[in-house]
């Protein structure tokens, strides 16, 4: 392999000749050969927004000339297009401030800009990192990446799935079935009412996520090393936040307290809490659906779901609720990520938190998994879900909890005796009630109207 020599403050480093990163990136590659997890590309693209916005702010404030600002912007556009994805190889398991990834982006921008200019136009620290520190750029990139992915991927996925449930809810608004509590028979509901809970869960989760995104709009940029803004000109923070907003189409603002912005990850914890709430609801929805579809002959069997692939390598004809299984595994991973993020946030020391890379890695994994899983679940399960009215009617007619509607007529204790006699003797509620003399047959028939119980 051909190499070139790059230099930093610690000396010379051999870098592969076909790569555009510099000495600090190469040192990180050599010193942190840990795992397979890489800094997410969403973070790299967020850092590109940061560098482009910083260049604009520095230009407006007279710290940078037009040529260098344009050069930085041009390479940032290449990064945002994905053209330079191969230049960002660093591990999640690196310095906890994300400094090496910040420098990775700085070095690639400088090298590529110099390559385009045909001369040494940019220095990674003096120009690309002007008015910045890794301590404020990486937290800023975390918020940008988190907000953009929630708004761009997750919320649309929620809308699609909740829309599918809304259609089912309306279609089956009058299909009566038995309700269940404690995994036991309860009083009747309609299938539309059951599905309405799923829909409303997702709508509530969406509202909580939108609220959480508001906290991610605050950017640490301008705090530099410890929150004081050392080496950043007055007004840089506001101009940079305005530039990020213009570039992303999302309204970001400068954090009112940069000391908080650098050392705390409470806003990430809060936002991921909403992700965990969504995961918990998706776990419940998937479990409901696979229970209702259980069988096909020896389970509840009240709904059918699409048969997408063979379910067993030994049992011919077996079909499993695989989309439900995938969705519940994603939910478990998100809940585990939430634990990690909470622990990360608890470990801020003095003016900095040094668990940033693993925090944003887990956060973005949760967003990505939830988005993908909901899209898959909708397309491969929810849109093909349909009730089996005959089975619902059969289960409804056999339920002892229909006796609840007799409480106003014969009292709770007599109704309980009716249910017990029907269960013990294997007879109908009608026979159990009339044999004990609680109601005449005609009165029982007039009272026992499941459609009046929903």
pTM of the model: 0.96
Catalytic residues: 182, 312
Mean pLDDT within 98-127: 98
pLDDT surpassing 90 at residue 401: yes
Q: Report yes or no: 319 and 295 within 8 Å, Cβ to Cβ.
A: no
Q: What is the pLDDT of residue 265?
A: 98
Q: Report yes or no: 217 and 147 within 8 Å, Cβ to Cβ.
A: yes
Q: What is the pLDDT of residue 139?
A: 98
Q: pLDDT tens-digit profile of 318-375? A: 999 999 999 999 999 999 999 999 999 999 999 999 999 999 999 999 999 999 999 9
Mean pLDDT within 443-453: 95
| Rounded Cα distance, 153 and 374, in Å | 10
Q: What is the pLDDT of residue 428?
A: 95
Query: Which residue matches tokens 């459609």?
Result: 451
Percent of the chain with pLDDT over 90: 100
Q: pLDDT tens-digit profile of 369-400? A: 999 999 999 999 999 999 999 999 999 999 99
pLDDT surpassing 90 at residue 414: yes
Domains in the chain with CATH codes: 16-130 (1.10.275.10), 136-224+256-390 (1.20.200.10), 399-453 (1.10.40.30)
pLDDT surpassing 90 at residue 1: no
Q: How confident is residue 39, by pLDDT bands cut at 50, 70 and 90?
A: very high
- Tokens at 375, concatenated: 């899209």
Q: pLDDT tens-digit profile of 134-152? A: 999 999 999 999 999 999 9
Length of the chain in terms of residues written = 454
Q: How confident is residue 126, by pLDDT bands cut at 50, 70 and 90?
A: very high
Q: What is the pLDDT of residue 267?
A: 98
Compute φ and ψ for 66, nearest 5 degrees: -60, -40
Q: pLDDT tens-digit profile of 423-440? A: 999 999 999 999 999 999
Q: What is the DSSP string of 270-323?
A: HHHHHHHHHHHHHHHHHHHHHHHT--SSSS---EE----S---SSSTT----HH
Residue 13's H or E segment, with its range, is strand 11-16
pLDDT surpassing 90 at residue 197: yes
Percent of the chain with pLDDT over 70: 100
SS3 category, 46: helix
| Rounded Cα distance, 424 and 417, in Å | 10
Q: What is the pLDDT of residue 160?
A: 98
């Amino acid at each position: 392999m051909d190499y070139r020599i790059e230099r930093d403050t610690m000396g010379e480093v051999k870098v592969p000749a076909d790569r555009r990163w510099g000495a600090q990136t190469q040192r990180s590659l050599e010193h942190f050969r840990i795992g397979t997890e890489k800094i997410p590309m969403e973070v790299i693209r967020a850092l590109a927004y940061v560098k482009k916005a910083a260049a604009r702010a520095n230009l407006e404030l007279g710290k940078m000339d037009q040529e260098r600002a344009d050069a930085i912007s041009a390479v940032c556009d290449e990064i945002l297009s994905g053209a330079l994805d191969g230049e960002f190889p660093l591990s999640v398991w690196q310095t906890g401030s994300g400094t090496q990834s910040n420098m990775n982006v700085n070095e690639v921008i400088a090298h590529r800009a110099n390559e385009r200019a045909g001369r040494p136009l940019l220095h990674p620290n003096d120009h690309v990192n002007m008015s910045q520190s890794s301590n404020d750029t990486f937290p800023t990139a975390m918020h940008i990446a988190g907000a953009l992915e929630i708004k761009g991927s997750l919320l649309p996925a929620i809308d699609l799935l909740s829309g599918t449930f809304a259609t089912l809810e309306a279609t089956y608004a009058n299909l009566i079935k038995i309700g269940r509590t404690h995994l036991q028979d309860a009083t009747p509901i309609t299938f539309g009412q059951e599905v309405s809970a799923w829909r409303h869960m997702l709508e509530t989760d969406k509202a909580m996520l939108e609220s959480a995104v508001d906290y991610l709009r605050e950017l640490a940029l301008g705090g530099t090393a410890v929150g004081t803004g050392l080496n950043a000109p007055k007004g840089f923070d506001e101009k940079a936040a305005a530039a990020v907003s213009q570039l992303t189409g999302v309204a970001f603002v400068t954090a009112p307290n940069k000391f908080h912005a650098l050392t705390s990850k409470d806003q990430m914890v809060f936002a991921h809490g909403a992700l965990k709430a969504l995961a918990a609801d998706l776990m419940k929805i998937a479990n409901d659906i696979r229970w209702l579809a259980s069988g096909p002959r020896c389970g509840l069997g009240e709904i059918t779901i699409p048969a997408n692939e063979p379910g067993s390598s030994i049992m011919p004809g077996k079909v499993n609720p695989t989309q439900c299984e995938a969705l519940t595994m994603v939910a478990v991973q998100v809940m585990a990520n939430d634990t990690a993020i909470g622990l990360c946030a608890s470990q801020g020391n003095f003016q900095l938190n040094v668990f940033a890379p693993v925090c944003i890695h887990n956060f973005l994994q949760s967003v990505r998994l939830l988005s993908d899983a909901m899209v898959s679940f909708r397309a491969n399960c929810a849109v093909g879900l349909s009730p089996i009215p005959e089975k619902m009617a059969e289960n409804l007619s056999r339920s002892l909890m229909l006796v609840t509607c007799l409480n106003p007529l014969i009292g709770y204790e007599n109704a309980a005796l009716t249910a017990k006699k029907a269960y013990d003797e294997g007879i109908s509620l009608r026979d159990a009630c009339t044999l004990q003399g609680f109601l005449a047959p005609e009165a029982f028939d007039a009272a026992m109207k499941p459609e009046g119980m929903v």
